[in-house]
Amino acid sequence: MADHSHYTCFNNPYLTVPSFRDVEGTVDPRTILRADSRLELEIGFGRGRFIRERAMAQKDVRMLGIETKRKLVYECAERVRRSGIDNAVVMHGDAREVLARMAPDGCFDNIFILFPDPWWKARHRKRMVVTDGLTDHVVRLLRQGGHFFVETDVDFRADEYRQVLLADPRLSPMGDKGIVSDNPFGARSSREAQAMELGMPVYRMLFCRK
């Protein structure tokens, strides 16, 4: 593992990553991505495998990624740069705060949240990402016919997410009451790839914006 003990607040590169904290007021993804059509959002991209694979496979799509950990943003931005990907922008921020001030409504074609909640214990519930509060903004930001794709390997979290998504009258469940057997987006996150390699179950939920 890399030794980062020599970093201070003056030379720590993680502190220089683009952050939504530096964007005041309304966040307009069309300005950040310098485009106004076929925009997609990934929340909590982690190591960034999905956003990079998706951006490389879909050249006509522009991808925006939000991640709370600055180190992961820095590392993903480096990988994006080294791979010559010019249709993905990754930024630091907490989706629960950023989505609330994102506009305009209907600006994204697809929104992805993949394996968001590694926290098992009841006291970790307050950090949950897929809640009705966040879903309210996700749905508002999806265009008509756009998709919300959520994955997890935790069975009880899958049930909780599905209940939140089924309860939103603006969403239509795809597959079997919202559960689909395959990932239709031609890209996999590290966590999905790892779960599949280990033969662990992956719960995939796909909903369409009415």
Supply the residues annotated as catalytic. Answer: 117
What is d(CA 114, CA 66) in angstroms, rounded to the nearest whole number?
12
Which residues face 205 on adjacent strands?
Answer: 150, 179
Give least dist CB 61 to ligand SAM, A. 18
Residues contacting 166, CB < 8 A, separation 6+: 173, 177, 178
Nearest to ligand SAM of 38, 69 (CB atom): 69
Segment near ligand SAM (CB under 6 A); pick from 3-11, 21-29, 37-45, 141-149: 37-45
Pairing of strands 88-92, 62-67: parallel
Segment near ligand SAM (CB under 6 A); pick from 5-13, 79-87, 173-181, 188-196: 188-196
Alpha helices in the chain (DSSP H): 29-32, 49-57, 70-82, 95-98, 132-141, 155-166, 190-197
Nearest to ligand SAM of 137, 209 (CB atom): 137
Nearest to ligand SAM of 43, 174 (CB atom): 43
Binding residues (CB under 6 A) for ligand SAM: these are 43-47, 66-69, 72, 94-96, 114-116, 118, 129, 189-192
